């Protein structure tokens, strides 16, 4: 097994709940590891060999006789997995940076309850569990912060032995978490401190198209609404919305230089040979003329026409006649086509600014 495969095997084993800080000192049958999604790429013999390697490093141990098939993580194994996850960016940066107030981190960790998407857990969290996450902070600092939170009435505790062990947020502590700690640490509920910082979606070039603010806001609404439809598996609705974005943008774009637009060879005309008003153009005609005027390159125009065909499935007779059922793949492709069209128009506008003689229009 290569070093890379060995690292992947270790990651697969670390995905098991045996290595979660909240499951301190809990034993698990080996069979429970075989069905892990991350472990499916490895044979049972490889998984067992990986556990033995962890045992040899003091990170895992057998529970009972060798033939019992049960394993548990050692304290060192819990800390090693957490350090690995933090290094991989699987935790919020505030838990990793070393700049945050330990008291804020403790409150946020108790609120998380061991979950990356479960805000304000009401279950108690043990101090030993928190120490796994706070391993990089000096023991005296984190202990002082814990004791101060208890004195302030923000954290309640129950004595297990000689040390405060079971910790929970009081009502005041929950308010403090939501009002003070969340904004101070830059958390984004429902994600907790145990989740990677949500990455911002790639910016769309609405602001690069020279659109009026109200127009750009409408397009953002359509894009976000289409995203909500995709989250709800409403693929046809998402595809129709993506198609509408192209139509709205091209109507505005071609309307900026109407003399040039209407003079295009492929501009639709009435019986007298006069170019039709833009509000009477079909989406197919808008795309064709945009390509003729070099606002869109030929490949983008072809994909936009394909999206137009998919968008037309919103009409019941078309949908029934074609017996086509949009799915996640079609909606995803539609989303990418819209992004490509918007990027193409933005680049066209940029070219018109640097070379006004080369590409006219779209510069408003």
- Dump pLDDT digits (tens) for 221-236: 898 899 888 878 888 8
Same fold across 3-84 and 89-185: yes
- The tokens for 361 are 């229009």
What was the pLDDT predicted at 78? 94
Pick 3-84's CATH classification: 3.30.450.40, 3.30.70.100, 1.10.10.10, 3.40.50.620: 1.10.10.10
Residue ranges covered by each domain of the chain:
3-84, 89-185, 205-354
Sequence length of the chain is 364
- The tokens for 359 are 């590409």
Q: What CATH number labels 89-185?
A: 1.10.10.10
Share of the chain above pLDDT 90, in %: 42
Q: Is 210 strand, coil or helix?
A: coil
What was the pLDDT predicted at 53? 95
Pair 285, 246: CB distance under 8 Å:
no
Distance (Å, rounded) from C-alpha 237 to C-alpha 230? 8
In angstroms, how far is CA 33 from the centroid of its own chain? 27
What was the pLDDT predicted at 161? 53
What was the pLDDT predicted at 362? 52
Under-70 pLDDT residues of the chain: 1, 66-68, 119-121, 159-164, 198-205, 207, 350-364
What was the pLDDT predicted at 358? 47
β partners of residue 29: 70
Region of 143 on the Ramachandran plot (φ > 0 left; ψ -120 to 50 alpha; else beta): alpha
What CATH architecture does domain 205-354 belong to?
Up-down Bundle (1.20)
What's the pTM? Answer: 0.54
What was the pLDDT predicted at 80? 94
């Amino acid at each position: 097994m290569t070093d890379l495969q060995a690292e992947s095997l270790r990651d697969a084993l670390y995905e098991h709940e045996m290595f979660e800080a909240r499951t301190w000192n809990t034993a698990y049958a080996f069979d429970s590891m075989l069905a892990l999604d991350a472990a499916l790429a490895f044979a049972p013999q490889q998984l067992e060999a990986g556990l033995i390697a962890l045992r040899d490093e003091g990170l895992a141990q057998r529970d009972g006789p060798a033939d019992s098939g049960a394993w548990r993580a050692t304290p060192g194994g819990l800390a090693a997995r957490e350090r690995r996850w933090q290094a991989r960016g699987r935790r919020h940066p505030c838990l990793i940076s070393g700049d945050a107030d330990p008291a804020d981190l403790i409150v946020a960790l108790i609120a998380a309850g061991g979950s990356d998407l479960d805000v304000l857990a009401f279950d108690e969290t043990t101090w030993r569990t928190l120490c796994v996450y706070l391993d990089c902070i000096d023991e005296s600092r984190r202990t002082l912060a814990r004791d101060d939170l208890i004195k302030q009435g923000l954290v309640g505790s129950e004595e297990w032995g000689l040390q405060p062990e079971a910790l929970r947020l009081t009502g005041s502590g929950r308010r403090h978490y939501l009002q003070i700690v969340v904004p101070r640490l830059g958390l984004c509920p429902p994600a907790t401190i145990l989740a990677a910082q949500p990455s911002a979606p790639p910016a769309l070039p609405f602001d690069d198209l020279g659109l009026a603010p109200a127009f750009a806001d409408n397009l953002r609404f359509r894009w976000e609404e289409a995203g909500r439809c995709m989250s709800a598996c409403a693929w046809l609705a998402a595809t129709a919305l993506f198609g509408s974005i192209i139509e709205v943008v091209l109507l505005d774009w071609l309307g900026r230089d109407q003399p040039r637009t209407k003079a295009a060879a492929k501009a639709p005309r009435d019986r007298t040979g006069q170019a039709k008003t833009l509000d009477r153009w079909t989406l197919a005609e808008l795309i064709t003329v945009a390509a003729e005027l070099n606002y869109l390159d030929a490949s983008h125009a072809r994909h936009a026409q394909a999206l137009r065909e998919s968008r037309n499935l919103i009409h019941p007779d078309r949908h029934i006649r074609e017996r086509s059922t949009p799915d996640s793949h079609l909606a995803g492709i539609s989303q990418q086509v819209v992004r490509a069209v918007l990027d193409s128009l933005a680049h066209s506008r940029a070219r018109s600014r640097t070379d006004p003689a080369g590409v006219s229009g779209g510069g408003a």
